[in-house]
Amino acid sequence: MLQQKHLLGLEGYPAEDIQTIIDTAFTFREVLDRPIKKVPSLQGKTIVNLFFENSTRTRISFELAQKRLSADTVNFSASTSSLKKGETFKDTAQNIEAMKIDAVVMRHPTPGAPLHLTQHINSIVINAGDGTHEHPTQAILDMTSLHEKFGYLKGLKVGIIGDISHSRVALSNIHGLKTMGAEITLCGPSTLIPPFAEDLGVSVNYNVDEVIEWADALNVLRIQRERMEGGLLPSVREYRNLFGITTERLSMHKKEIVIMHPGPMNRGVEIDSLVADSDQAIILDQVLNGVASRMAILYLLLGGKQEQENS
């Protein structure tokens, strides 16, 4: 039902397929509101969650999505250091596939690792985040949430605030939103914006107030403390002053603006608690849409249609 066998990233991903996933996600949202939140769509399918990097919310979200679709799931966590020492990535992948599975959901610290995986195994590969490259399912759930809130994506003005250079969420959002016709402005310290960002077809503005004035929605990214040690940022205080999404800052703008955050949040750093908990924040809707979007992706990629006929 989707044109590509895998979901590796949103760069070049067809608009009609993104729309199909979003539409399907909305139908699964209804399932999640039922007393019995389970459908038999992927009964008999086996999915391995291959996490080479720590993750709580993405892994739980995927696992819930799989269980709600009645798929069999196996979780595998490995620190990359043990891989460096011994077994190669190829061996790990081929061993798991030899156990007869249908799909792999993988998170890996290296950009390109999911593409690499498709060269060694035949199963469907879904990228759950590859280093600083892409995190397509996060971008799809973000777009699902925006679509739910606004009813459209074309022409929507989205500001992405924070550490863009180290963010797979930003890159997937840029590709996905661009494809769907939205406008994007990146905003953050110049040391955390990739030097060639504008080549991706987005605007860059270092003045967060101007971005707030312009945008319909803000996607606020996490700022990691390691960035201070790397010499990219002077201090949390400086960041908050220049880019923090604070109540004071928002109150200066006489407009409604939707606030998103992919989590985990550093309350008091990139976003104020009061903002995160306010009505304009759709952060928890994003989490719920995460399960629904991942159900849609799994269902569409794993041939859910055929299973439905059987059930």
Partner 1 sequence: MKTTKLKKQVVLKGGTILDPINETLKKGDVLIENGRMKSIGKVTPSKSADVIDCSGLIVTHGFCDIHVHFREPGREDKETLDSGSMAALAGGFTRVCVMPNTDPPLDSPESIRYTIDRGEECPIHIHPIGAITKSQDGKELTEMGAMLSEGAVAFSDDGLPVTDTGMMRNALEYSTMFDVPIINHAEDLCLKKDGVMHEGRISTQLGLPASPGITESNMVHRDLELTELTGARLHVPHVSSAKSTDYIRQMKKSNNKITAEVTPHHLFFTDDDLITYNTDLKVAPPIRTQADQKALIKGVKDGTFDCIATDHAPHTIEEKEGTFDLAPFGMIGLESCFGAVNRALVKENKLNIIRLIQMLAVNPRRIMGFETDLFTNGNSAELTIFDPNKKWTFKKSDIYSRSHNSPFIGEALIGRIRATIVKGHITVLV
- Compute the Cα dihedral for 21, 141, 299, 10 and give only its sign: positive
Nearer Cβ to partner 1, position 184 or 212? 184
Query: At a CB cut-off of 8 Å and minimum separation 6, what does 207 contact?
Result: 187
Residue of 18, 182, 197, 208 that binds partner 1 (CB under 8 A): 197
DSSP run (H or E) holding 76: strand 72-77
DSSP run (H or E) holding 203: strand 203-204
CA–CA gap between residue 143 and residue 67 (Å, rounded): 23
DSSP 3-state of 258: strand
Nearer Cβ to partner 1, position 5 or 253? 5
CA–CA gap between residue 125 and residue 295 (Å, rounded): 15
Residues binding partner 1: what is the number (CB under 8 A)? 26
Asked if 102 is part of the footprint of partner 1 (rule: CB under 8 A), the reply reads no
Residue of 5, 38, 90, 253 that binds partner 1 (CB under 8 A): 90
Nearer Cβ to partner 1, position 18 or 295? 18
**Which residues in the 1-60 window bind partner 1 by CB under 8 A?**
11
Pick the stretch among 40-48, 97-105, 131-139, 288-296 that binds partner 1 (CB under 8 A). Answer: 131-139
Residue of 45, 68, 107, 108 that binds partner 1 (CB under 8 A): 108
Nearer Cβ to partner 1, position 173 or 246? 173
Pick the stretch among 64-72, 145-153, 194-202, 215-223 that binds partner 1 (CB under 8 A). Answer: 194-202
CA–CA gap between residue 234 and residue 207 (Å, rounded): 18
Asked if 84 is part of the footprint of partner 1 (rule: CB under 8 A), the reply reads yes
Nearer Cβ to partner 1, position 169 or 259? 169
**Which residues in the 238-267 window bind partner 1 by CB under 8 A?**
none
Would you say 291 and 249 are in contact if contact means Cβ atoms under 8 Å apart? no
Would you say 90 and 62 are in contact if contact means Cβ atoms under 8 Å apart? no
Residue of 2, 19, 64, 89 that binds partner 1 (CB under 8 A): 89
Would you say 292 and 29 are in contact if contact means Cβ atoms under 8 Å apart? yes
Asked if 163 is part of the footprint of partner 1 (rule: CB under 8 A), the reply reads no
In the beta sheet, which residues pair with residue 103?
47, 124
Task: Supply the minimum distance, in Å, between the C-beta of residue 10 and partner 1.
Answer: 11
Nearer Cβ to partner 1, position 116 or 267? 116
Buried b (16+ CB within 10 A) or exposed e, 208-245: beebbebbbbbbbbbbbeebeeeebbeebeebbeebbb
Asked if 203 is part of the footprint of partner 1 (rule: CB under 8 A), the reply reads no
Angle at 174 between CA 133 and CA 301, to 5 degrees: 70
Per-residue CA distances from 177 to 78, 83, 153, 171, 283 (Å):
32, 35, 7, 10, 18
Asked if 111 is part of the footprint of partner 1 (rule: CB under 8 A), the reply reads yes
Residue of 15, 32, 55, 116 that binds partner 1 (CB under 8 A): 116
Nearer Cβ to partner 1, position 40 or 194? 194
Pick the stretch among 34-42, 86-94, 98-106, 293-301 that binds partner 1 (CB under 8 A). Answer: 86-94
Q: Could you check whether the bond before residue 264 is cis, i.e. omega within 30 degrees of 0? A: yes
Nearer Cβ to partner 1, position 107 or 147? 107
CA–CA gap between residue 117 and residue 198 (Å, rounded): 30
In the beta sheet, which residues pair with residue 258?
217
Residues that bind partner 1 (CB under 8 A): 11, 84, 88-90, 108-113, 115-116, 130-134, 168, 171, 194-197, 199-200
